[in-house]
Amino acid sequence: MTAPYSIIVCSSTNHMLRADQLLVANHVPRQLIPVPGYLGSVCNTAIKVRTADLSRVKELLGGVQLEGIYPLEPQKLEGAGSLLTGILPKEFQSVIGKLAQGEDFTRDELIYLLSLQELPLVEKLYALADRMRRQVVGDVVDIRAAIEFSNYCRQNCCYCGLRRDNSQLLRYRMEPGEIVGLSKNLFRMGIRTVILQSGEDPGYTVEMLVALVKAIKKATKLGITLSIGERAAEEYRLLREAGANNFLLKIETANPKLYAVMHPGADYIARVHSTENLRDLGYRTGSGNIIGLPGQSIEDLADDILFMKEKGIHMVGIGPFLPAANTPLAGHQPGSEELTLKTIAVARLVLKNVFIPSTTALATLNPDAQAKGLQVGANTLMIIATPERYRANYEIYSNKAAVNLERAIELVTSLGRELPRPIRVSMGLRKTK
Ligand code: SF4
């Protein structure tokens, strides 16, 4: 039987963007998705089209360099059946059956999985997600480093310590030269992706950012992820052309009403448009959500995961809500560790070949929880490379854990997982297995 969908993999991002523009201009239904793991690279973007449209697509893409057009095979979870032990509820068996067949979950099934309470079932869910992680992205834990270069922010998100109304914060902007120096050190340490993170700070103009991105690219071979909030589409384009590879813009919640409550004065639709814009510019996009926001439901979490699937997100940050001092939510309870872990697990089963960090927020909630995150579907760690003297003023939430490279290496090796090769080489370490 012919697969109902096919995927187009182009020879470069530029060709992919050209192909995408041609399909959009000619009204061919398409979706940008991460290239499935079985075709190779974890994080390149492919174009999904209906197989029925293929002859027209081939005509339209005559001048585009393609690596190939492939049937979109269902990604079956190998060995899922081996977890069918003990007496299991019918719904759970049906979930495992779907994973074994590579079928998509319905929204109700996501809600069912996120609502699981019985420990044996929750543990099976974790085991399934860990198996999927191993199958689609392997045992290497990617380690990325964040430089929090400015804590100025024009937004007023209710949960965030950097919000503009927090007058207790000493605001800072790091000099570009200092950021480039730190980036060089990171590269020497074997880090291959730096995350340049800030509040929404118009004081760091696009010209300054373009110069910064170019300077880091000139001095190192680092991949650059920007996490600088919402900017004009033109600014995103200039930064992409300057060499930025990835862009992290979390949706935080895909429930528009809850989004409006948590982000006074911000526009949910604009956020979605920015996410799409970034994807259409050829960035590898990052998104994610916060678990345990006041007023959030399990249904919301299911919708968050479906949002990330629909938008073809490559990197998915899922962390618990943590109260921050001097914010409207300072007195609220933190999000649940278990629900965060379940959301990571379900996200891995649904989104498959994406980067999922076991977040600093999880480590802050409970120092042992970051290891658990890596055992239930996560495959990435982020270390904080911001110089000590700035850190106390970059507390998006209070008492933020400081995960450094030594801690990350300890964590990865204690779990029997693999370090990225450049880190192993720079630290003179052997492979775990
Ligand atoms: S979450 Fe981001 S945009 Fe919102 S206040 Fe904090 S730094 Fe600013």
Q: pLDDT tens, 22-59?
A: 999 999 999 988 887 777 654 478 999 999 999 999 99
* pLDDT for res 1: 66
- Please check whether residues 300 and 164 belong to one and the same domain: yes
Q: Assess contact for 199 and 149: CB atoms under 8 A.
A: no
Q: By alpha-carbon position, which residue is closest to atom 4 of ligand 1? A: 157
Q: Assess contact for 337 and 365: CB atoms under 8 A.
A: yes
Q: Give the least confident one: 72-86, 207-221, 312-326, 379-393.
A: 72-86
Asked whether the predicted pLDDT for residue 257 surpasses 70, the reply is yes
In sequence order, which residues have a C-beta less than 8 Å from that of residue 149 and are 6 or more positions away? 173, 174, 179, 196, 197, 198, 204, 386
* pLDDT for res 44: 75
Ligand 1 centroid to Cα of residue 229, in Å, is 8
Question: What stretch of H or E contains 17?
Answer: helix 13-25
* pLDDT for res 35: 84
Q: Is position 105 within any domain?
A: no
What 3-state DSSP class applies to 397?
coil
* pLDDT for res 432: 66
Which atom from ligand 1 is nearest to the alpha carbon of 161? 6
Residue ending a domain, choose from 18, 45, 71: 71
Ligand 1 centroid to Cα of residue 210, in Å, is 21
Pairing state of beta strands 315-320 and 380-384? unpaired
Mean pLDDT computed over every residue of the chain: 93
pLDDT in tens, 113-135: 999 999 999 999 999 999 999 99
Domain CATH for 16 = 3.30.70.120
* pLDDT for res 398: 78
Residue ending a domain, choose from 13, 37, 71: 71
- pTM of the predicted protein model: 0.94
Length of the chain: 433
Which atom from ligand 1 is nearest to the alpha carbon of 198? 7
Q: Is position 116 within any domain?
A: no
- Please check whether residues 63 and 155 belong to one and the same domain: no
Mutate to test the pocket of ligand 1, among 148, 150, 157 (most ligand atoms within 8 A of CB): 157
Pocket of ligand 1 (CB under 6 A): 153, 155, 157, 160, 162-163, 199-200, 229, 396
**Cα(192)–Cα(421) distance, integer angstroms:** 10
For the residues of 279-338, what is the DSSP string, one character each? HHTTPEEEEEEEET-TT--HHHHHHHHHHHHHTT-SEEEEEE----TTSTTTTSPPPPHH
Residue ending a domain, choose from 71, 90, 110: 71
> How many domains are contained in the chain?
2
Ligand 1 centroid to Cα of residue 283, in Å, is 21
Segment 165-172 shows an average pLDDT of 95
Tokens of 50: 């209906």
Which atom from ligand 1 is nearest to the alpha carbon of 229? 3
Report percent pLDDT > 90 for the chain: 83
In sequence order, which residues have a C-beta less than 8 Å from that of residue 330 and are 6 or more positions away? 323, 324
Which atom from ligand 1 is nearest to the alpha carbon of 263? 4
Cα 162 to Cα 63, 74, 109, 126, 295: the distances in Å are 48, 43, 37, 34, 22
Q: CA torsion angle for 372, 275, 203, 223 (degrees, to 10)?
A: 60
